[in-house]
Amino acid sequence: MAQSDGRLAWEVPEAAAVAVLVTVGVLMVGGLMAGIAASTTSYGGITPSGLVVGNAISYGATWAEPLLAIALLGAIGLSWWQIEAWTDASEPDDEPLRLVEVAGHIRRAHRISQWTRAALLLVCAGAATLVVGSIVLSTGGDGGVNSVDWSRTIVEVANLLAVLVVASVGVWIGRRITMDQESSD
């Protein structure tokens, strides 16, 4: 329902999706700050560049994982559900104020969907960055690499693939939302 002052009230699914987006943003900023802090580290006056760079990259992207992508998938699913629910709730003979409310919720859900797709793409970039950080840590800049060093990279590649699968579905849902909106305009 619209609030008495003319502003559009927030629905529970909208608030939940925005909470997920804000949480993802906080984790991304925290990771960036951790990466920056790790990049300024020195070890007893000697700065082993491979180790510092690898750690900075890895700390900076630790948030980029499949569970976060799944939370974003849930948020985009809530957007889709909101659009479907509000579209079904509108009747051609509704009063103008009700039609404005319906249109407002649909617009808000579309915006949340767009923000969520952008966040999914950032999680993909973060997961790819974790692979790079892992490779830098595995090689360490000293050339001495063994199978244990590469085990972390294998895990990070699996992490990237899982994120890509979830993000692909999220982007597909987002595109369907956009196509549905364009076809109804």
- Reported as a single tens digit per residue, the pLDDT across 47-102 is 557 778 888 898 899 999 999 999 999 999 999 999 988 888 766 666 776 778 88
Nearest in space to 83 (alpha carbons), one of 105, 111, 100, 101: 105
Give residue for tokens 């699996």.
Answer: 158
Query: Measured in Å, how far apart are the chain's first and last C-alpha atoms?
Result: 23
The Cα 12–Cα 25 span in angstroms is: 20
Residue 30 CB-density burial (10 A; 0-12 exposed, 13-18 middle, 19+ buried): middle
139 vs 127: which has the higher pLDDT: 127
The pTM for the full model equals: 0.85
122 vs 37: which has the higher pLDDT: 122
Nearest in space to 1 (alpha carbons), one of 83, 90, 102, 94: 102
Are the C-beta atoms of 106 and 83 separated by less than 8 Å? Answer: yes
pLDDT at position 18, please? Answer: 96
